[in-house]
Structures are given as C-alpha cells and as structure tokens.
C-alpha cells in the first residue's frame, strides 16, 4: 500500500507550513462565469440513495460559487515550493516535478473570501506518477486537509497536517471503481467532512470538534519512488452551502 501520509508530509514540509499559511495570499480570484445548467458528474453505477448521496446530488446540481480549469476560466495557481511547477494548459492544470527531487509536489490558489460550509471538487488524471488529490487549508488554525488517491494501489486517504507539524491519517481504505479520470469531492458541513470519488460516497469524518473553514484550495501530485510527476487537474468547482 502506498504511504500516502509520507507523500503529504514531503509536500508541505514541517518547517515551512506555519510561515506559508500566514504569508500574504495570492491575489484573490475574480468570480468566474457560472453555468446554471451544469449537471453533476456521473459515475459508472448509480449509487444507492443515502443521506450522503442526497447531499452530493443537492450540492453538485446547484450553481458553483467558483469555477476554474475549464475552457473559459483559468486562474493563477502557485507552486507550494520551489521543487515543483504549475502550468495551466488547454487540458487543465499540470502539477509537475522532475525525478529525484522528492515524492510529491502541489499547487494552490486563493478564493476571493473565506468560506464555512462548502464543497470542493476537481477532476484528476495521472499520466505520470502514482497519486493525486485535492486539499484545502483552514487559515484560522493553519491546518491542511487532503483527499488523495492512488489507483495503482487501489487506495484513497484523507489526512490532516497541523501547525505543530503533526500529520494524521484520518481515513484510509481501498477503492476499486477507478476510471481514466477520477472526480474527487469534499463536502464540509460544520464539523463534518463527506468524501466522494466519482460521485460515490466513500467516507465521512467528524473528528475536528470545530467548524472548518477554507480559503486556499490546492491540487497534489505524487510519486512514491521519487520519479517524475505530471498530474492533470480540470473542472475545479467550489460551492457555498
């Protein structure tokens, strides 16, 4: 099984996280044009109707607060460190690093305002590397939360990185219904985080003990053997609930 916690640890860097979270954020992103006729992503099978699936359908069928990495919207994404690079191209955001530098790299951008009760969704394709995922940063307490997938090992992981550099694996399990491109979604309601892969609920976490907020959103690419990484992201969406 891929060591996803180690991957995320390399990405953020224990010494650099607190300073990074409190430095000046990238310039706020102008609101993208909304498409009120957009439909939720589809999956190969129809999930059983549950409260989690009903929440997903209700959120993703509404108009997003923010959209990016589509043919008409391309915001500025910034490397989390100097070892990786971010390139917005016609097919989406490429999160890249060269071989031998370390295991993972990531890119992030800032929203125009801090949110509570929100959803963040992005589509990921992994042409080069072992894993990819999305994350958001809670600026109030300097915590980052990530949903990371590794189709090669049939696993997903939900982790948090705290300001004391403590990395915690909150959820990890196997998943087998991978597609060529996979849609990852996190829906956050008060203290609860609902996780979805390709429109299907995979886990719920309620351990924060406080209301979570989001200001920065990010995309992560990884390779556990320090090989080159080129993970492509598109159709980023954020909803205000």
Q: What average pLDDT score do residues 161-166 get?
A: 73
Out of 107-121, 128-142, 158-172, 218-232, pick the least confident: 158-172
Phi-psi region of 26 (alpha: psi -120 to 50; beta: other; left: phi over 0): beta
User: Can you tell me the mean pLDDT for 21-45?
Assistant: 37
pLDDT at 232: 97
Bridge-based pairing of strands 143-150 and 84-89 is unpaired
- Report the pLDDT value the prediction gives residue 73, as an integer from 0 to 100: 84
Predicted confidence (pLDDT) per residue in 168-204, tens digit: 889 999 998 999 999 999 999 999 999 999 999 999 9
The closest of 111, 165, 168, 157 to 134, measured between CA atoms, is 157
CA 166 – CA 182 distance, rounded (Å): 29
Distance between CA atoms of residues 4 and 82, nearest Å: 21
Nearest to 48 by CA among 40, 36, 56: 56
DSSP state of 42: P
User: Does the structure show a pLDDT above 60 at 141?
Assistant: yes
**222 Cβ contact partners less than 8 Å away, ≥ 6 residues apart:** 4, 7, 11, 103, 104, 105, 129, 130, 131, 132, 148, 150, 229, 231
Comparing C-alpha atoms, which of 164, 233, 173, 231 is closest to residue 205?
Answer: 173
CATH fold for domain 4-21+82-240: Jelly Rolls (2.60.120)
The yes-or-no verdict on residue 133 having pLDDT over 80 is yes
Contact 4, 150 (CB under 8 A): yes
Which residues are CB-contacts of 216 (< 8 A; sequence separation ≥ 6)? 21, 25, 108, 109, 110, 111, 136, 137, 139
pLDDT at 151 over 50: yes
pLDDT for 14 beyond 70: no
Residue 88 has pLDDT above 90, yes or no: yes
Does the pLDDT at position 135 exceed 90?
A: yes
Q: Taking residues 29-49, report their average pLDDT.
A: 44
List the beta bridge partners of residue 183: 123
| Mean of per-residue pLDDT scores for the chain | 81
Contact 224, 3 (CB under 8 A): yes
Strands 200-205 and 104-116: unpaired
Q: How many Å apart are CA 235 and CA 208, to the nearest integer? A: 28
Spell out the alpha helix ranges (H) of the chain.
Answer: 4-12, 17-22, 51-60
Average pLDDT over every residue of 23-45: 38
Counting residues of the chain whose pLDDT is more than 70, the rounded percentage is 79
pTM to 2 decimal places: 0.82
Sorting pLDDT into bands at 50, 70 and 90, what band is 45?
very low
Whether 164 has a pLDDT exceeding 60, the answer reads: yes
Confidence class of residue 142 from pLDDT cuts 50, 70 and 90?
confident
- pLDDT score, position 16: 46
pLDDT of residue 49: 87
């Amino acid at each position: 099984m891929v060591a996803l916690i180690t991957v995320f640890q390399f990405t953020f860097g224990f010494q650099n996280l607190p300073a990074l979270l409190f430095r000046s954020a990238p310039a706020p992103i102008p609101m993208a044009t909304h498409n009120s006729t957009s439909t939720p992503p589809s999956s190969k099978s129809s999930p059983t109707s549950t409260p989690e699936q009903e929440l997903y359908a209700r959120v993703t069928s509404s108009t997003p607060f923010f959209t990016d990495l589509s043919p008409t919207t391309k915001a500025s994404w910034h490397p989390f460190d100097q070892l990786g690079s971010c390139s917005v191209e016609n097919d989406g955001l490429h999160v890249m690093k060269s071989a031998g530098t370390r295991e993972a790299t990531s890119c992030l951008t800032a929203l125009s305002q801090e949110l509570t009760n929100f959803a963040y969704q992005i589509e990921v394709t992994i042409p080069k590397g072992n894993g990819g995922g999305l994350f958001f940063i809670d600026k109030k307490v300097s915590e980052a939360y990530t949903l990371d997938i590794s189709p090669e090992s049939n696993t997903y992981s939900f982790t948090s990185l705290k300001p004391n550099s403590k990395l915690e694996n909150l959820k990890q399990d196997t998943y087998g219904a991978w597609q060529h491109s996979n849609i990852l979604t996190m829906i956050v309601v008060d203290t609860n985080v609902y996780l979805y892969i390709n429109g299907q609920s995979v886990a719920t976490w309620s351990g924060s003990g406080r209301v979570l907020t989001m200001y920065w959103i990010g995309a992560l690419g990884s390779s556990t053997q320090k090989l080159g990484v080129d993970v492509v992201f598109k159709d980023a969406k954020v909803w205000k609930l």
